[in-house]
Amino acid sequence: EVQLVESGGGLVQPGGSLRLSCAASGFTFSPYWMHWVRQAPGKGLVWVSRINSDGSSTSYADSVKGRFTISRDNARNTLYLQMNSLRTEDTAVYYCARVIEAADYWGQGTLVTVSS
Amino acid sequence: DIQMTQSPSSLSASVGDRVTITCRASQSIRNYLNWYQQKPGKAPKLLIYAASSLQSGGPSRFSGSGSGTDFTLTISSLQPEDFATYYCQQSYSTLYTFGQGTKLEIK
């Protein structure tokens, strides 16, 4: 069974940092591109970032570029999102997703709250 | 960036109704268009990929069509479990933008 399990969310002050993890199991992780998507409370889905299969290519939404870094460890079957200089508007549930043509499997999400 | 605009933003319908949701891209995205269903407190679920391909295990009452800039998601006969929020997403550019969502409610 394909599983994606996010962790690392929590409460952080503005300007702080967090690292999210997404542990993959039930499939061969290394060939797949992986994405992060977030959803602020009561709002819609917002695409955040993506990484290719070997980690050599990444892309970011303008709203997080220069502050967030996506990475992966194929040996550990884990995806990461390093989030620095956090702002109140980064408060959201963060989902990781496996992508072929589209995001066919999603994690359950981890809540990040940025507040003083 | 490619902007995705869905209409309507919300929709009330009854069980058994035929429902259509529209998604428009700000530029041509060929057929790189996906549809997701999300229920409250849950992760999104892929329904349709590549504009018209039904995701494995998806109910056949869901169908997608369109290419270029204009796309539709159709539910042929609404079931109680279909009341949810639906999102389109383009996968043509490296920035995979979503539409703002369409909330489908029970009339």
Query: Which token pair is A65?
Result: 């570029």
Tell me phi and psi for residue A67, to 5 degrees: -115, -35
Contact A101 B50 (CB under 8 A): yes
The pLDDT of residue B59 is: 96
Per CB-CB distance under 8 Å, the chain B contacts of A61 are: 95
The pLDDT of residue A85 is: 98
Asked if A66 contacts A49 with a C-beta cutoff of 8 angstroms, the reply is no
Q: Per-residue pLDDT tens for B7-39?
A: 999 999 999 999 999 999 999 999 999 999 999
Q: CA separation (Å) from B107 to A77, B10, B83?
A: 45, 12, 10
Contact A45 B89 (CB under 8 A): yes
Q: Per-residue pLDDT tens for B64-80?
A: 999 999 999 999 999 99
Closest alpha carbon within chain B to A104: B46
Q: What percent of chain A has pLDDT over 90?
A: 98
**Cβ–Cβ contact A47 with B under 8 A:** yes
Closest alpha carbon within chain A to B49: A102
**Cβ–Cβ contact A111 with B under 8 A:** no
Read off the pLDDT of each residue in A44-56 and give the average, rounded to a whole number.
Answer: 97
Question: Is pLDDT of B94 > 90?
Answer: no
Contact B100 A35 (CB under 8 A): no
| C-alpha A106: how far from chain center | 11
